[in-house]
């Protein structure tokens, strides 16, 4: 029987928003399928980095599309980063190389690469999106369909994620997805079907613009350039030797949640040479844009931005809970369901499917519980590193004391990051067979 996959991406929909609004399709998928309390998206939690990780199954550090803008210090100009290399790593290209047909319908950002059919709509409104989605299904009958719906994200940006406008937008999206689901059930009635519902990132409240305050710290003695992307700021130092002074100046600034350096970004697999010398994630309620005034924003490291819904529903899906999952697991899970062998940073969410032995399910539960604990410890350690930076900025630590304590915390970060990778490999090794095909 031919296998079909539909991926519904509610761009900008946080766990908090989904919990506050009754969403029929999410409730059906959760009750009758496999679901996580939340999945973790990648950092930076921007549409750019998360879209790239969603379709490649790779962390930002692997696919290279960490930030959309960067500062070319040699020419003193900001540039846009192009990521055409994503085409060859996209799950869509992988499916096409295996003989399948794929289709994407998305909004004006046009961040998803590839697709036998690729429809990019230059309005976030739902009317045209719904029309073209149904046209693509009826005319092209893809084997893998991705609908990346921008309405929730754009409404959050304009009105704030806790506004009634967002709840109404989510209900409209719910009605649309139920129509699409019913259409696919009829169109694919003789096929084995898999549905995945996820968000690329969440959106949090944006009330105070910190751009001028942070950019205003740049001076003759501490010269740097700021590239801002919502709640994410990239700091490019004119003199790299001033990094410690820059960290001290930024650490206790109002609205600053975390100041990342290279090794800390690497622990999240989010480093790129283009990202800058320091990266700032702002606290909830703050954002940093040179010109725009908005009420909701993304890009940071808060729970509301990093935690996203994940539900899996369809033929062969086992009802129950997914203990730990990440955004990068989606592409691997699609390939797994379609019995395509390919290496990803993410893992196939094998516990969501029928066919494994009770021992295999128990082992997966044990390992994913350890992954959840390890990831939580990684986030806590990053917070501890930031507290250390604040203590140094306040003069509570001497420079040698600061370096010594920072070294110990960084060693822990490195160990936790490696442990996550090791646990993921253990899952794949412990489940060597699934319905007759080898788990890569």
Asked whether residue 83 carries a pLDDT value surpassing 80, the answer given is no
What pLDDT, on the 0 to 100 scale, is given for residue 438?
39
pLDDT band at 87 (very low <50, low <70, confident <90, very high): low
What pLDDT, on the 0 to 100 scale, is given for residue 237?
96
What pLDDT, on the 0 to 100 scale, is given for residue 439?
39
Q: What integer is the mean pLDDT of 26-53?
A: 96
pLDDT in tens, 270-289: 999 999 999 999 999 999 99
Q: Which of 65-79, 88-102, 299-313: highest mean pLDDT?
A: 299-313
Nearest of 91, 35, 14 to residue 313 by alpha carbon: 35
Asked whether residue 440 carries a pLDDT value surpassing 70, the answer given is no
Asked whether residue 436 carries a pLDDT value surpassing 50, the answer given is no
- Other residues' Cβ atoms within 10 Å of the Cβ of residue 384: 16
What pLDDT, on the 0 to 100 scale, is given for residue 128?
92
Write down the pTM of the prediction: 0.94
What pLDDT, on the 0 to 100 scale, is given for residue 86?
67
Asked whether residue 340 carries a pLDDT value surpassing 50, the answer given is yes
What pLDDT, on the 0 to 100 scale, is given for residue 243?
95
What pLDDT, on the 0 to 100 scale, is given for residue 108?
83
Q: CB of 90 within 8 A of CB of 101? A: no
Q: CB of 41 within 8 A of CB of 47? A: no
Asked whether residue 308 carries a pLDDT value surpassing 60, the answer given is yes
pLDDT band at 409 (very low <50, low <70, confident <90, very high): very high
Nearest of 283, 91, 70, 301 to residue 196 by alpha carbon: 91
Q: Distance between CA 190 and CA 298 in Å, rounded? A: 41
Q: CB of 57 within 8 A of CB of 346? A: yes
Q: CB of 221 within 8 A of CB of 31? A: no
What are the distances in angstroms from CA 321 to CA 8, 35, 312, 369, 432? 19, 5, 10, 12, 22
pLDDT in tens, 196-253: 999 999 999 999 999 999 999 998 789 999 999 899 999 999 998 999 999 999 999 9
| CB-count burial class (<10 Å; 0-12, 13-18, 19+) for 254 | exposed
Domains in the chain (CATH in brackets) are: 3-68+83-203+301-355 (3.40.720.10)
Three-state SS sequence of the chain: CCEEEEEEEECCCCHHHHHHCCCHHHHHHHHHCEEEEEEECCCCECHHHHHHHHHHCCCHHHHCCCCCEEEECCCCEEEECCCCCHHHHCHHHHHHHCCCCEEEEECCCCCCCCCCEEEECCCCCHHHHHHHHHHHHHHHCCCEEEEEECHHHHHHHHHCCCCHHHHHHHHHHHHHHHHHHHHHHHHCCCCEEEEEEECCCCCEEEEEECHHHHHCCCCCCCCEEEEEEECEEEEEECCHHHHHHHHHHHHCCCCEEEEECHHHHHHCCCCCCCCCCEEEEECCEEEECCCCCCCEECECCCHHHHEEEEEEEECCECCEEECCCECCHHHHHHHHHCCCCCCCCCCCCHHHECCCCHHHHHHHHHHHHHHHHHHHHHHHHHHHHHHHHHHHHCCCCCHHHHHHHHHHHHHHHHHHHHHHHHHHHHHHHHCCEECCEECC
Nearest of 237, 287, 361, 395 to residue 46 by alpha carbon: 287
Q: Distance between CA 46 and CA 66 in Å, rounded? A: 9
Q: CB of 61 within 8 A of CB of 53? A: no
Percent of the chain residues topping a pLDDT of 70: 96
Over the chain, what is the mean pLDDT?
93
* Cβ neighbours for 313, distance < 8 A, ≥ 6 positions apart: 28, 29, 32, 33, 34, 194, 195, 196, 197
pLDDT in tens, 99-118: 999 999 998 877 676 778 88
In DSSP terms, 205 is beta-bridged to 296
What pLDDT, on the 0 to 100 scale, is given for residue 81?
81
Asked whether residue 435 carries a pLDDT value surpassing 50, the answer given is no
- Residue identified by tokens 């410890």 is 377
Asked whether residue 44 carries a pLDDT value surpassing 90, the answer given is yes
What pLDDT, on the 0 to 100 scale, is given for residue 113?
67
């Amino acid at each position: 029987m031919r296998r079909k996959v539909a991926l519904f991406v509610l761009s900008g929909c946080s766990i908090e928003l989904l919990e506050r609004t009754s969403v029929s399709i999410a409730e059906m998928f959760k009750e009758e399928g496999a679901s996580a309390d939340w999945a973790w998206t990648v950092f930076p939690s921007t549409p750019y980095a998360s879209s790239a990780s969603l379709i490649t199954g790779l962390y930002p550090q692997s696919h290279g599309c960490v930030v959309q803008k960067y500062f070319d210090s040699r020419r003193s100009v900001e540039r846009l980063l192009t990521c055409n290399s994503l085409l060859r790593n996209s799950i869509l290209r992988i499916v096409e190389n295996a003989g399948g047909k794929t289709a994407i319908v998305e909004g004006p950002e046009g961040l998803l690469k590839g697709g036998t059919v690729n429809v990019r709509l230059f309005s976030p409104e739902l009317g045209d999106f719904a029309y073209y989605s149904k046209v693509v299904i009826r005319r092209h009958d893809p084997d893998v369909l991705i609908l990346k719906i921008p309405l929730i994200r754009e409404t959050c940006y304009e009105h704030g994620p806790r506004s009634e406008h967002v709840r109404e937008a989510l209900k409209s999206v719910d009605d649309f997805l139920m129509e699409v689901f019913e259409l696919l059930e009829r169109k694919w009635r003789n096929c084995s079907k898999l549905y995945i519902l996820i968000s690329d990132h969440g959106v949090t409240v944006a009330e105070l613009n910190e751009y001028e305050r942070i950019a205003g710290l740049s001076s003759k003695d501490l010269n740097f350039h700021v590239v801002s992307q919502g709640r994410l700021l990239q700091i490019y130092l004119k003199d790299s030797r001033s990094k410690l002074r820059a960290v001290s100046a930024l650490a206790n600034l109002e609205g600053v949640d975390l100041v990342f350096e290279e090794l800390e970004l690497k622990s999240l697999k989010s480093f790129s040479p283009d990202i800058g010398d320091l990266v700032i994630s702002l606290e909830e309620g703050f954002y940093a844009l040179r010109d725009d005034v908005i009420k909701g924003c993304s890009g940071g490291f808060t729970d509301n931005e990093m935690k996203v819904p994940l539900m899996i529903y369809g033929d062969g899906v086992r009802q129950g809970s997914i203990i730990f999952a990440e955004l990068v697991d989606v592409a691997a899970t699609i390939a797994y369901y379609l019995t395509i062998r390919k290496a990803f940073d993410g893992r196939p969410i094998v516990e969501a499917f029928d066919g494994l032995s009770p021992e295999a399910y128990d082992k997966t539960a044990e390992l994913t519980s350890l992954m959840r604990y390890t990831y939580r410890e990684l986030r806590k350690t990053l917070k501890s590193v930031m507290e250390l930076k604040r203590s140094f900025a306040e003069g509570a630590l001497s420079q040698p004391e600061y370096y010594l304590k920072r070294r110990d915390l960084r060693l822990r970060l490195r160990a936790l990051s490696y442990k996550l990778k090791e646990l993921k490999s253990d899952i794949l090794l412990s489940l060597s067979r699934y319905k007759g095909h080898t788990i890569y």
